[in-house]
Structure 1
Amino acid sequence: MMNEPLNQQLHSRYPNLSLEPIPSSRICSQAYFEKERDAIFRNTWLQIARTSDLPKPGSYFVRDIPTLSTSVIVTRTRDGALHAFKNVCPHRGMKLCVPGTHTHNRINCPFHGWAFDLSGQVAGIPGEEYFFDFDKADHGLKPVNVGEWSDLVFVNFSPEPEQSLQVFLGELYDDFHGFFATDHWQAVRNYNWTLDFNWKLYLDSSVEGYHAAYVHLFNNTGQVAATNPDPLWLPNDWVRLFKDHRVVGVPQNVGERELAPMEALAFQYGAVAAYNEGGVALPPGINNTKSKDWAFDILEVFPNSVLFLSANLFGIIRLWPVAANRTHCELEVYLPTATTAAGRVSQEYGVVSLRDVVREDMNTAVAIQSVAEPDGEFVLCDQEIAVRHQYETIHRHVENCRSHADV
């Protein structure tokens, strides 16, 4: 059998995807962004935190959701049950808590002193006798749907979600289960940026290797790509497209180039975070081909989470669009506990390398946004198929929501 043409190797595996250019209006139009916000972010499971943010029963954490101009409280009651609520006092609409983790058994409003227990019920109201025809049982915190998967916490702001969290995750639910366990990973770094680009532009860069030798020229990722004779260097069976989510594997090929001095030290004294030597046990969904050349997987959990998964590093990026051309970005980095000082230095090299790669991709997104024309288009090659999948998935949700509204 003849080899498939280079421009059909991936698309032949996913024939339902279009071959047409992507309209650049989808990153420019404020009206389209508002459709995305209403169709997707108001109705989809959103990954917002890890179980480690709830260190024990009787604690809670708070997350702001900039895309929806809201904030959510997630609690763990004494019986271990997980609850989520709007971070809004039902009395006069005051924001109850600042973002972060809290270990109190009550949530107190700083405006008038109303108090709520961790199940959302009213626990105390100063001057309750002065209210008219008042039953405090009717004035608890407004609940939000919440779920857990493998130590990741999700919320869904729809009054009645169309699907459970397990159904939403699909194949990911079993294939990646266990990797995110709190016992494996320690939080080491958090970064936050608000930048002028459409949220989808960062998703684009995460799932194609075409750009690596150019955008990341002075980073180890780009140097690995530059040593490969084929600039489209992602092996075909390392690209996996699911209904809404996608995974792309990234090779390391560290033996094919001369290491930079700091990189060489990192390899000598410990497992560099981005590479697969030692580290935690991997579930079947990560490095699915079991290749020795594999470095890490990039998992995009629809709609706005990008997860970097390796045996020695776990990172989460969350993209919260606030306008067609502006996005709030969160990066959290987790590492196994280092057993030696040299190993910790090696880990730090991996953390900084990941941060630099992320910012290089975000700077590229800002540059694209600064000159984007609403009547333009993006022309994609075969190995940019995950980019195409991302745009078509989002557009399908937008169109489905509009169809439901027309019924």
Structure 2
Amino acid sequence: MVRTSSPEPLETTDQPQPPKAPAYTSWISQDRSADPAAAAMRQDAADLVERVLEHYRAGTTHEAADQWTEPVGHYLDADRWQREMDAVHRSVPLPLAMSCELPGPNTYKAIDVLGLPVLITRDRQGAVHAMINACRHRGAKLLEPGCGTSRRLTCPYHSWSYDLAGELRGVYAEKTFGPVPREGRGLVRLPAGERAGIVFVSLDPAAEHDLDAWLGDLGPLLEGLRMAECHHYSTRELTSPNWKVTLDGYLETYHFASLHPKTVFETNLSNMMAHDTWGPHQRIAPALRPIAQAVDLPADRRDPGDCVGPIYWLFPGLAIAGGWRQKIAVSLVLPRTATESVTQQIILLREPAVTEQERKAADQFGEWFHEVVRDEDYATTYGVQQGLEALAAAGTDFVFGRNEPGLQHFHRTVHAHLDSAAAAGRAAG
């Protein structure tokens, strides 16, 4: 019998029953696109299955060279949190929207990021823009957070209006207000770009980012997932603890059997995965239970979507789960304060949900995802947050095992950004 390094799920009585895992349908095995990126993605998937099969046969998982310790105080220090925000979230291109959240001309997504109201739009020509969601007259917020359609952006305070590119187009009662030159009075622009079905925005208006260099060799694999062709079904929000406490739970499979015995562990093996990195970004690829049947099949008869459930993770906080399937769950984690973050759960579908049965299936998928994260993952991480102060006072460290390479890579990357920012500050000073 193959050892899976997974404890038996605990039997529970007199407890609310967890939501039943929705049925998953592979997409990657049905994709016949001749696009080079899609072909490269399919080849990468086949190679990834072989790697995970090796772990399954041996009862192993991907391991880092050693363990890593992280001082508990690094999760609590308000000054360090501020430096993280400056060195990371205010410095790198943030993945703030999926392209299908802005599915056509004259669409928008409004989102608050670190207290900054951000407005992302797609203009009548289909180009994506980002700007500060504040009227240039008196600073009122133009649109509340969410997605929608609008041909003009009209301020609710005094009715100044802008086009979807942010240019000032109308001033209410300009005859009595006085003339307002249109040039230079548009909304404050933020650098934005679109790659692989994801919209990236910089919070620094003066930033100049090379998105292709930022994504590196991961870019073509993301393009191969063809998320730009997906349909946005729903978005829900969850409050969550400190951003690093929250993200730590996304980057390992070690907890599947113990924390999710009746949910995730029913479809995924625990503590068994492949791991890859591309610069600051990474992918964890857990083994799925049908791999037990696929292990004896020839390679051309294995469906990658049945064997492996890869989670692509874009630094600093976007997780894409189910990219090889018909339904995709995207998690966007954004810090709010040193002790709180917010998570947007975005459900994408390969095909629009038209019939009642299709909508019911999409609802079930989104509800399962929401309840598992809220009632199992985040309920636990709030408990982690509650104990941080006492642990920090005792001078303790968290230890990340060799079987938790995703955590190690994430924290090393945060450290590297802080070190680079400190070096730049010393050079400038």
CA drift of 1:190 comes to: 2.4
Alignment match, 1:193: 238
Q: Give the distance between the partners of 1:8 and 1:116, measured in 2 at CA.
A: 53
Distance 1:9-1:141 versus aligned 2 partners, 3 A rule:
closer
Q: Give the distance between the partners of 1:187 and 1:218, measured in 2 at CA.
A: 28
1:193-242 Cα distance to aligned partner (Å, 9 max, x none)? 123x11112222222111110000121x22456xx6xx5322xxx20022
1:162-186 Cα distance to aligned partner (Å, 9 max, x none)? 5311111112211220424343x33
Q: Paired residue for 1:52, among 68, 92, 100?
A: 100
Report the 3-state secondary structure (helix = DSSP H, G, I; strand = E; otherwise coil) of the residue aligned with 2:312.
Answer: strand
Contact preservation (8 Å) 1:7, 1:381: no
Confirm or deny that 1:214 pairs with 2:253. Answer: no
User: Given the two structures, how large is their TM-score scaled by the length of structure 2?
Assistant: 0.75
Confirm or deny that 1:136 pairs with 2:182. Answer: yes
Q: How does 1:118-267 map to 2 (within 5 A)?
A: 118-128=164-174, 135-183=181-229, 185-195=230-240, 197-219=241-263, 221-224=264-267, 232-234=271-273, 238-254=274-290
User: Given the two structures, how large is their TM-score scaled by the length of structure 1?
Assistant: 0.78
Alignment match, 2:8: none
Report the 3-state secondary structure (helix = DSSP H, G, I; strand = E; otherwise coil) of the residue aligned with 2:129.
Answer: strand
Alignment match, 1:323: 337
Q: Aligned AA for 2:63? A: L
Q: Give the distance between the partners of 1:232 and 1:65, measured in 2 at CA.
A: 35
Q: Paired residue for 1:38, among 63, 75, 86?
A: 86
Alignment match, 2:307: 294
Distance 1:128-1:342 versus aligned 2 partners, 3 A rule:
closer
Q: Give the distance between the partners of 1:127 and 1:335, measured in 2 at CA.
A: 45
Distance 1:30-1:311 versus aligned 2 partners, 3 A rule:
same
Report the 3-state secondary structure (helix = DSSP H, G, I; strand = E; otherwise coil) of the residue aligned with 1:321.
Answer: strand
Q: Give the distance between the partners of 2:292 and 2:363, measured in 1 at CA.
A: 24
Provide the aligned C-alpha RMSD in A: 3.0
Contact preservation (8 Å) 1:42, 1:156: yes
Confirm or deny that 1:86 pairs with 2:132. Answer: yes
Q: Which structure 2 residue ranges, 5 or more long, are not aligned? A: 1-58, 294-301
Which moved further from structure 2: 307-316 or 380-389? 307-316
Distance 1:93-1:352 versus aligned 2 partners, 3 A rule:
closer
Fraction of identical pairs, as percent: 25
Number of paired residues? 356
Distance 1:41-1:119 versus aligned 2 partners, 3 A rule:
same
Q: Which structure 1 residue ranges, 5 or more long, are not aligned? A: 1-5, 13-17, 258-288
Q: How does 1:384-395 map to 2 (within 5 A)?
A: 384-395=404-415
Confirm or deny that 1:26 pairs with 2:74. Answer: yes
Q: Give the distance between the partners of 1:182 and 1:165, measured in 2 at CA.
A: 16
Q: Give the distance between the partners of 1:334 and 1:346, measured in 2 at CA.
A: 13
